[in-house]
Amino acid sequence: MQSFIIRKAELQDISSICNLVHELAVYEKEPEALKIGIKEYQEAFIEGLIDSIVAEYEGKVVGITVFYMTFSTWRGKCLYLEDFYVQPEYRKYGIGQKLFEAYLSEAKSRGAKLTRWQVLDWNEIALNFYHKNHAIIEKNWWNGKLFFNE
């Protein structure tokens, strides 16, 4: 495979990011849970609510990380990894590893004391990837959420 580029996302990448998030939702067996579109992504990106690093191959975005700053009252600044996805046909080329490393570098450059994300318990590929990267996968915390205006 020819070389790929890992770079910070730009506004013109939002359409590709939105499409890859949809692919991720399908992979996670929850496409109906995706309720927003490109406009909301653009607004969030412009407002600085979300940021992204993308993997590009031959001018096409084939992988993404979408993240934002949060705060842990126990640890301090935290960079939360909302979405991390590489299209299946581009896996096994090291793109995911390079994206993850770029994300970790971004977290450190922002002064984050930790990074967090969620991973589905059945996603063995992702779990193995995170274990390979020495991540702590917590099993004792449960997610809580409330939806508004549904």
φ and ψ of 144, to 5 deg = -125, 145
The average confidence (pLDDT) of the chain is 95
Does the domain formed by 5-132 have CATH 3.40.630.30? yes
pTM confidence score: 0.94
Please provide the DSSP assignment of 1-19 as one string: ----EEEE--GGGHHHHHH
Half-sphere CA count of 19, side-chain side, radius 13 A: 11
Beta-carbon contacts of 111 under 8 Å, excluding residues fewer than 6 positions away, are 77
Question: Strands 114-117 and 76-86: what pairing?
Answer: parallel
Distance, in Å, from the CA atom of 150 to the CA atom of 137, rounded to the nearest integer, reads 31
Q: Please identify every residue annotated as catalytic.
A: 130
Helix locations, the chain, DSSP H: 14-27, 38-47, 95-109, 124-132
Give pLDDT, residue 142.
Answer: 86
pLDDT category at 143 given cuts 50, 70, 90 is: confident
Give pLDDT, residue 149.
Answer: 77
Task: Give the residue extent of every domain in the chain.
Answer: 5-132
pLDDT per position as a tens digit, 39-91? 999 999 999 999 999 999 999 999 999 999 999 999 999 999 999 999 999 99
Taking residues 98-113, report their average pLDDT.
98
